[in-house]
Amino acid sequence: MKAILLAFDSLNRHYLPAYGNPWVQAPNFARLAARSATFDRCYVGSMPCMPARRDLLTGRPNFLHRTWGPLEPWDDTFTERLQAAAVSTHLITDHYHYLEDGGATYHNRYSTWQCFRGQEGDPFFGQSADPIIPPHRNGKGRRQDWVNRSQLRTEADWPQVQTFDAGLDFIERNATGDRWFLQLETFDPHEPFTAPPAHQARYAHAGETPLFDWPGYQEVTETPAEIERARHNYAALLALCDDQLGRLLDAFDRHDLWKDTLLVVWTDHGYLLGEHGRWAKNIPQLWEEVSHTPFFVWDPRAPDCAGARRQALVQPSYDLAPTFLRFFGLEPGPHMTGHDLGPVIAEDRPVREIAVFGQHNLCLHATDGRWVYHRGVTAPDTPVHDYTWMPTHMRGFWSVDQLNALDGTEVLPFSQGIAVPRFRRPVGPGNELTEHRLYDLRTDPAQSAPASDAAEEARMVALLTAEMQRTHTPVAQLLRYGLAPTV
């Protein structure tokens, strides 16, 4: 048995034909849906990129214990468990955050790994002369990105294409082998929405100048025409993703991998492209465009899943670790709180009643698949802590002041007996939501206005509290959100 995890970053389900999009050209995503189970109630876990990948490897949420950071010494990863059972694990990626301080412990949890450089502002190509920068409206662009773009002379130069080239080479060399796991991962369609000219040509406003393919993480201030330009640039990059997916599906057909290979197509989160008056994803409220994600699975043990729709609520960020382990005949680790998705894939049998997700120190979110509850901070002066032995940010170490905020140690339920340093974070009014909002997706799928239903809100609060305690949320975090711990 073999397994492939194909991971995209910032893939918005509303831009895929399988989820009802009428104008984006993504025939290979449609082809994928015909060969796999398409999940209609799939939600994120910890946000954003590296927190989601810590969830993925450990099978448990981490956003209520620390901010973006490395894997910790006590983290129990499914990839290491596979290796201990003689399953080879290989990572191929162009996601350069793996090579930064805040992600530097992830790639070494695989037997082998490859990384292709040059995405976004990856400090890869050295150039002392200023790059040529065209007229643009990019709100988050930076110099290194323009240097990197100058190296994209043919489609083969795109890091995503190089990543898939390597993935297909791995498959060609190992198709007849057994007991291997491949994580094939691209940073795209994460911003900047840079695509080859042939893909831009598929959309009327892609590539237009002044260029707008890297929105700032902020409120929308652009004109409707500029918003349309950003959406077309996103669609053009998605077209490149679709073409590469097609190459992978061709390899499945060529080697008949359908008979013995699990294929999972996952994304860490979606992306706002002007909806709710916002761009991107790092916002107090994680709207449906960010939190409700596409998810596809082909399982050779359940051939009837091809072309099926699944309605059971899932959170792949937490659920994939136990799913991969069970696929290879192994038991999940004792501290993994996610659920094996085998029963959902095979027969749409529910495995969870509630999904809880969010970003450290911001709004809490929960859904049962119909109701979505955004729980604001009610006690902003309650202490907030980062629990870590690995004090790094995305880029760089913590400051001396942050390190001096050590507030004792604590043995966490999942830290394998290790006393974990607890660092106090500044508290008080900030970017967090301070009210609670309930949305009924059945009557208001666009989340245009909060619903007023005290009974449903009370039910969601009870489910949210129980799930947070099941996943070992610190009591201080419960109190920060005005939730009463139960015995």
Residue 307 sits in the same domain as residue 406: no
* Residue 7 pLDDT > 80: yes
Residue 349 sits in the same domain as residue 381: no
Residue 300 sits in the same domain as residue 388: no
By mean pLDDT, which of 227-236, 428-437, 448-457 is the weakest?
A: 428-437
Residue 53 sits in the same domain as residue 8: yes
Residue 336 sits in the same domain as residue 388: no
Residue 215 sits in the same domain as residue 131: yes
- Total domain count for the chain? 2
Mean pLDDT of 155-167: 98
The pLDDT value recorded for residue 274 is 96
Residue 387 sits in the same domain as residue 463: yes
In a domain, 316, yes or no: yes
Residue 300 sits in the same domain as residue 378: no
Final residue belonging to a domain, choices 353, 372, 405: 353
Burial of residue 433 (number of CB atoms within 10 Å: 0-12, 13-18, 19+): middle
Final residue belonging to a domain, choices 353, 376, 392: 353
In a domain, 485, yes or no: no
In a domain, 221, yes or no: yes
The fraction of the chain above a pLDDT of 90, given in percent, is: 92
The pLDDT value recorded for residue 324 is 98
The CATH code of the domain that includes 98 is 3.40.720.10
Q: Which residue has the higher pLDDT, 319 or 432?
A: 319
Residue 321 sits in the same domain as residue 399: no
Residue 287 sits in the same domain as residue 429: no
0.85 exceeded by pTM? yes
By mean pLDDT, which of 99-103, 118-122, 397-401, 429-433 is the weakest?
A: 429-433
In a domain, 470, yes or no: yes
In a domain, 486, yes or no: no
* Residue 99 pLDDT > 90: yes
Residue 98 sits in the same domain as residue 241: yes
What is the average pLDDT score of the chain?
Answer: 96
| Nearest CA among 241, 242, 213 for reference residue 228 | 213
Please give the angle made by the CA atoms of 270, 271 and 274, to the nearest 5 degrees. Answer: 145
Q: Confirm if 311 and 41 have CB atoms less than 8 A apart.
A: yes
* Residue 1 pLDDT > 90: yes
The pLDDT value recorded for residue 292 is 98
In a domain, 76, yes or no: yes
Residue 208 sits in the same domain as residue 343: yes
In a domain, 294, yes or no: yes
Final residue belonging to a domain, choices 289, 318, 353: 353
Domain enclosing residue 336, as ranges: 2-353
In a domain, 293, yes or no: yes
For the stretch 417-441, pLDDT in tens is 999 999 998 765 556 678 899 999 9
For the stretch 303-316, pLDDT in tens is 999 999 999 999 99
Mean pLDDT of 446-457: 97
